[in-house]
Structures are given as C-alpha cells and as structure tokens.
Amino acid sequence: MANDNDTTHFGFQDVPKGEKARRVADVFHSVAARYDVMNDLMSFGIHRFWKFFTTELAGVRSGARVLDIAGGTGDLAARFARQVGSEGEVVLADINASMLRVGRDRMVDRGLGHRVRCVQANAECLPFPDDHFDVVSIAFGLRNVTDKDSALASMQRVLKPGGRLLVLEFSKPRSELLSKAYDLYSFRALPFMGRLVADDADSYRYLAESIRMHPDQDTLRDMMLQAGFDRVKYHNLTGGIVALHIGYKG
C-alpha cells in the first residue's frame, strides 16, 4: 500500500500521493459552477455525442442497477435513469462535494431527483456491496484518480458477474497532425477560455496536462485486463481524442 511519501503526477508536476486528491478537489470546487458551459465551449458541443455513444453502448435495460462514478453534473446519470425506468436504480457518485451538489440540482431540474441517488464516494474504495451493479461508468474522471489500479479493482468488485464497465476518457489522437493541432489547442486555447469564462486559467491548464499524462488506449486496456475484466475493447472517437473502453466482469 502506498504511503503519502510516494509521488504521483498532478498534471506535469510530481506531488505526494496523499496530496493529489486535495489538489484535484480544489480544481473541481473552482470550476463546478461553470462546468457544463465550459464543456460545451471546449468540445464545441461534441462531448454530448461522446456521452450519447457511451450510454447507447452500455446496454442498460429496464430495471437495471447503474453506477456512474465521477458523474459530475449528471449527464450520463440522467440518460441512465430514463433507461432503467421506475424499477431500476441509478447512483450518481462523485468525490467532490461541489460537483455532486451541482449534479443533484441538475437531477431535480430534469425531474429526476427522485430517480437518481447521489453519493459522495472515492472511486478507489467504493462504498457499495460486491456484485451489485449491472453497469458501472466513469466519464472523464479516471485520469483524476490517484491510484487508477485500485479504482479499476473497486469497480470490478461492485459489478455483477457479466456486468460491464465503460470508461470514457480523453486519450491519444491516432494522427500525428491531429495530435499536434490538439496540443496547440489544449495548451493555448483551454487556459485562455478558462480565464475568460470561469476566471480560472490554472484549472484548465491542469486539464490539458492531466490528459497528456493519462495512459493511452492500449495501456488502459491492459490495466483493465489486469484488474480482472474480460473482453476489453475500445472505440476511438473524434480521431482518438477520446476513447471509450468497455470491459466485462467474468
């Protein structure tokens, strides 16, 4: 088990592992109120397609139990709530209280406040029973987790046998030309938009750095296999800027 003197990356910085969670929390406390607006601006609205694609491939049926980790403002949870119907269960989990508060308010605004349970939880040690959920999803959250292997193992534990995990995350563009253009956009435009819209350039500079430090498509697939998932595959979206990984619990 790692101790607080071990280091990990926070963007391009090396920080003690025990400090990363606090720093990530500070980022999301800062951006929570403008999170949805910034998502639309940064992705030109394409994030809505990425999330729609994820929920369509989740295979959620009426009456299913679904856990959305790092669910933020609830985009996926809202879709899942409509898919599972009144007999199902949807849990919106996030480690960050500010994001969870925004997510809870969004559920109420969408008329789904009674259908989605909000739980503050750490992905590395999920407070749910073994073999409980049919589907677990995490969208744009895994790169912020300190110990990704522990988080994947925790997700595998709470899934029912045959259940599936969906990891939607920024990844590595497949084209060198696209990769160079994406770097230019990420490190120049994102901090500028963050300062202009959210009065917070540093948080969006961290966003760009955290994307570059996240494992690539094949590495993440191997990590999921190591955590005990079977039949792991991934779909590159928008040229590999984003990838959706899917794995099953045997």
Q: What is the pLDDT of residues 191-219, one digit of tens each?
A: 787 777 767 777 778 788 888 889 999 99
Query: Mean pLDDT over all residues of the chain?
Result: 88
Report residue 210: phi and psi, to 5°: -65, -35
Region for 117 from its dihedrals, namely left if φ exceeds 0, alpha if ψ lies in -120 to 50, beta otherwise: beta
Question: CA torsion sign, 185 to 188 to 190 to 193?
Answer: negative
- pLDDT category at 31 given cuts 50, 70, 90 is low
pLDDT of residue 134 exceeding 50: yes
Query: In this predicted structure, which of 34-38, 127-131, 214-218, 225-229 has the lowest mean pLDDT?
Result: 34-38
Q: Which CATH architecture has domain 10-172+214-249?
A: 3-Layer(aba) Sandwich (3.40)
Q: Where are the domains of the chain?
A: 10-172+214-249, 176-206
- pLDDT band at residue 30, thresholds of 50, 70 and 90? low
Per-residue pLDDT tens for 152-185? 999 999 999 999 999 999 999 999 999 999 888 8
H or E element, residue 150: helix 148-158
Residue 94 marked as a ligand binder: yes
Percentage of the chain surpassing pLDDT 70?
88
Token couple for 28: 């999301």
| 14 annotated as belonging to a binding site for a ligand | no
Biggest distance spanned by C-alpha atoms of the chain: 48
First to last CA, the chain: 26
Q: Is 96 annotated as a binding residue?
A: no
Has 123 been labeled as part of a binding site?
yes
Q: What is the mean pLDDT of residues 136-149?
A: 94
Say how far apart CA 84 and CA 61 lie, in whole Å: 6
Can you tell me which residue has the tokens 């992705």? 43
pLDDT of residue 178: 93
State the residue for tokens 């269960």. Answer: 89
Q: How far is the C-alpha of 93 from the C-alpha of 87, rounded, in Å?
A: 20
Asked whether residue 60 carries a pLDDT value surpassing 90, the answer given is yes
